[in-house]
Structure 1
Amino acid sequence: MENVKELEALLNLEQIEVNIFRGQNFMSPWKRVFGGQVLAQSVNAAYRTVPEDRFLHSMHAYFILAGDISMPIVYEVDVVRDGGSFTTRRVVAIQKGRPIFIMAASFQLKQDGFEHQITMPDVTKPENLISDHEIIESIKETFPKAYAAYNHDRPIEFRPVENYGPLLQKNSEPFQHIWFRAKGDVGPKLSKHHEILAYASDYNLLTTATLPHREVLNHEKSFLASLDHAMWIHQEFDISQWHLYSLDSPSASNSRGFTRGNIFSQDGRLVASVVQEGLMRVVK
């Protein structure tokens, strides 16, 4: 996918029954269904069943089985509760008659209340950085295997503040900052911005947990996969504009890496927070 319009088409599910939807897959070069795609498609399915005045504020998901990239995914939405202020949905993604993914999502009316937030880190602005695509192009001759693995078009543009994590040759501290935005205008519908944020939020999380272990991972056959994912949306935002993903990994243990992320608009508003745990395993 080269732009956000292609991504929007992928995320716009086909309705096949009441509260049942079907989605197609992006043919990823790594031959597995991308977790961010399933997250975003499940958000699309849930949104299709809630009142128009309710907006997603949190989601909690588990990746149960690897998705088969060669066949569609069916999403079944369970209408759990429609309350006075909050609406709750449960989404199950199914292939071959088995759940491969489950998500609980909560939607809320716009309401006034207390407000505070942490301060956005003071880092280099995106206008003074180059994209991950340009970084990858620069290693085409020196690291051809890494170039082949990471050289593919994406509907999201990323501009790392520090050295690009997957290409690091030395171990480093588990912190990174990455600017990102959709490639193209998304339009005014807030649900679309939420879907694309869910898609983009799955990038760079598990990579952050690998930073202290690059010297091993670069020379050993390894397997990385998302296990669970949670996201809280705090404020409205425009995913077509630059946002800073501030990431840190407090812990890795028992073959699992844990990462947190705060997402800020360029003017310093904290718009979302994300956590994820993923499998990090050297294949013997």
Structure 2
Amino acid sequence: MTDDLTPAERQARSLADLLSVLELQRLGTATITVTGIDDTDNVSSREADVYIADSLVQPHHRVYGGQVLAQSLMAASLTVRDEHPQRLPHSLHAYFMRPGDDTQPIRFSVERMRDGRSFSARRVHAMQHGRPILSLSASYEDPANGLDHHDEMPDVPAPEDLPAVADKFAAIDHPRAQYLVGRPVDHRYVDGDITMQPGDARRARQDVWFRLLGEVGTDPYLQASVLAYMSDYTLLESVLRRHGRTWTDPSLRVASLDHSMWFHRIVDPAQWLLYSQESPSAQGGRGLGVGKVFTRDGLLTTTIAQEGMIRVKDD
């Protein structure tokens, strides 16, 4: 085991740590210099609002992608909510550019691209050592009326009828198992997880109930950022499931390349949500995952897409 804390104590600690790293410290407005956007020594300068935050400690000391995604969205939101408190995020598009170092703080430089009558746009660079590790664009919109429809939720068992991943792996002394136990998120798979064993059916889809193991309050900007954090955990698993792979397969090399989210309706991540996922394609060492997040009464809240590098070492 990794320490003497119970699983519940570890989860509470990880939740507190998550909320802590989402409390970004503002450093002011500055002219920033960005080097190596295109992996060269090209330099560009721009005006930006600058924030800083620490990272969650990871076993491999590489920043978890969902964390820097959530922090970047929060940084963008901090430049919107004071002037337009009713203007909420409706989409984000991000590229993971370099691995992050969890022992070093991350600086977030936010460019105010546009503030219109009903929309705002922001661009964020998450920086370490003078180079971007993630680049994110986000758009915000005032509440508006219009056409309204959404897809139907799949008919699946209720989360109370499914085992919690943390309970399954609590007594297993394996790094991946204990990493799952310490997450601040409760995951419950409709067709079983693929941590150490492949799924029974090789199909490129899965349904996972998830919820944050604690309250975050009613701030919609924080709710959206926490959902962004949670959305990165399982989205590429529909690719792995289709090919009978597991997370503990030593031949696999997996890394997120990009991540997009469309917030149809802001939702509290502490309630049970169904993450319905599928992979329409895998090729060229890359796999695409698409997910829809529903409330348990069937309301579609978010659509998410992510492409990842998924490489298999030769035997």
TM-score class, shorter-chain normalisation, is: over 0.9
The 8 Å contact of residues 224 and 266 in structure 2, kept in 1 or not, is answered as: no
Partner deviation per Cα, 1:142-174 (whole Å, 9 max, x = no partner): xx56535x4441111111111102232367211
- In 2: Cα distance, 1:216 partner to 1:187 partner: 35
What's the CA shift for 1:6? 3.0
Q: Does structure 1 residue 111 correspond to structure 2 residue 144?
A: yes
Q: Please give the root-mean-square deviation of Cα atoms over the aligned residues, in Å.
A: 1.8
Q: State the structure with bigger RCO (CA 8 A, min sep 6), 1 or 2.
A: 1
CA contact (8 A) 1:59 1:231 kept: yes
C-alpha distance after superposition, 1:175-213 (max 9, x if no partner): 111111111111111111101000001010122211123
Match of 1:9 in 2: 20
The residue identity in structure 2 corresponding to 1:221 is: S
Aligned residues: 280
Q: 1:131 aligned to 2:164? A: yes
- 1:190–1:27 distance in 2 versus 1, CA, 3 Å: same
Distance 2:161 2:246 in 1: 32
Identity %: 38
Alpha-carbon distance in structure 1 between the residues aligned to 2:25 and 2:125: 15
- SS of 1:166's partner is coil
Q: Equivalents in 2 of 1:168, 1:128: separation in Å?
A: 21
Structure 2 letter corresponding to 1:9? S
Tell me, yes or no, if structure 1 residue 121 matches structure 2 residue 154.
yes
Deviation at 1:220, TM superposition (A): 4.0
Conserved? CA contact 2:72–2:124, under 8 Å: yes
287, 304, 308: which one aligns with 1:257: 287
SS where residue 6 of structure 1 aligns?
A: helix
Structure-2 residue corresponding to 1:161: 190
1:23 to 53, 76, 91: 53
- TM-score normalised by L of structure 2: 0.84
Q: Where in structure 2 are the equivalents of 1:190-229 lying within 5 Å? A: 190-215=220-245, 219-229=249-259
Larger CA deviation: 209-218 vs 180-189: 209-218
Q: TM-score, normalised by structure 1?
A: 0.93
> What is the CA-CA distance between 1:30 and the residue it aligns to?
3.1
| CA distance in structure 1 between the aligned counterparts of 2:247 and 2:271, rounded to whole angstroms | 33
8 A contact 1:169–1:218 mirrored in 2:
no
Q: 1:90 aligns with which of 123, 134, 141?
A: 123
Q: Measure the CA separation in 1 of the matches of 2:278 and 2:257.
A: 17
Q: Distance in 1 between matches of 2:196 and 2:149?
A: 37
Equivalent-residue separation in structure 2 for 1:6 and 1:24 (angstroms) = 10
C-alpha distance in 2 between matches for 1:145 and 1:23: 26
